[in-house]
Amino acid sequence: MISYKDELNKQLEELRQLEKKAANREKTYKGLEKGSIRVSKSRGHFQYHFRKEGEEKEQYISKIDISRIRLLVQREYDEKVHNLLKDMINRLEKFNGKYDADSIDDLYENLRDGRREFVTPIRPTREMIINNWYATHKGNQNSYERKYEFPTLRGELVRSKSEKILADYFYNKGIPYVCEPEIRLKSGKRVYPDFGILNVRLNKTMYWEHLGLIEQEGYASRNFEKILDYEECGLILGKNLIITLETQERPLDVKVVDEKARMAFCDLSFYHS
């Protein structure tokens, strides 16, 4: 189950900004007479009538006084939208205060050991999802002989400094990952992307390729061909395939890594840092 708390908080912030805007608009009508405007139609033309607050009799407003009509109609809209926004904010704040998708998992996790061993949770826990993913997504499948000389924080060796940066980023963010998993293309050919990573919330596997020699002749075209092969087997750039690039003059930018990860996972707030 996806937790929408962050999205709800973003929605709340958007509503609060709109509410402020509506409140500021209302301040501009301070000198405008209070009351309500009624719109009718006669012989295909709109007519406007204004009733002052506390009075029963209406007064007709000629279209010559178009600026007054515009102000009165706009004020009525702004007052209504302001009240609506305040009501929406109030409702969403109350709901968001009680909403906690993780409480479903917590109910199982907080069971005492003597009970938990006899209970099957209503959905797999985070730990179960991760363990199952590691069991079905093996790493280090590439047998190509090339030195692995860069140790990661998790203790494995990778081929380049940039791969170490990426592996350590995943590790620090609590993103489950494997190095060089195997993918079989439609042609039957086996390829080994740099990383397989897991979006635990969605239980979704994604792949991360780092292209570190793009200034070399032929390197870019070979890898564009690889991307086309990926697309044929359902790995779409921006959906379940992420690519980072670098050259000797423009090394891997961790800020770009972070931005791409946030876009791929929607948000990383549900991972520990």
Q: How confident is the model over 251-261, as a mean pLDDT?
A: 92
| Per-position b or e across 75-98, b if 16+ CB within 10 A of its CB | beebeebbeebeeebeebeeeeee
Q: Of all residues in the chain, what percent carry a pLDDT higher than 90? A: 56
Residue 21 three-state SS: helix
Domain boundaries, the chain: 5-98, 137-265
Average pLDDT over residues 75-79: 94
Q: Give the whole-angstrom CA distance, residue 209 versus residue 181.
A: 11
Q: Encoding tokens for residue 79?
A: 């007052």
Looking at the predicted structure, is the pLDDT value of residue 273 above 50? no
Q: Between the CA atoms of 93, 98, 100 and 101, what dihedral angle is there, to the nearest 10 degrees?
A: -100
pLDDT tens across 127-142, in order? 999 999 999 999 999 8
Q: What are phi and psi of 187, to 5 degrees?
A: -75, -10
CA-CA distances (angstroms) from residue 254 to 30, 169, 216, 246? 51, 8, 22, 11
Closest CA to 237 of 215, 217, 259, 260: 260
Fold of 137-265: Trna Endonuclease; Chain: A, domain 1 (3.40.1350)
Which band of pLDDT confidence, cut at 50, 70 and 90, is reported for residue 146?
A: low
Cβ pair 132, 124 in contact under 8 A: yes
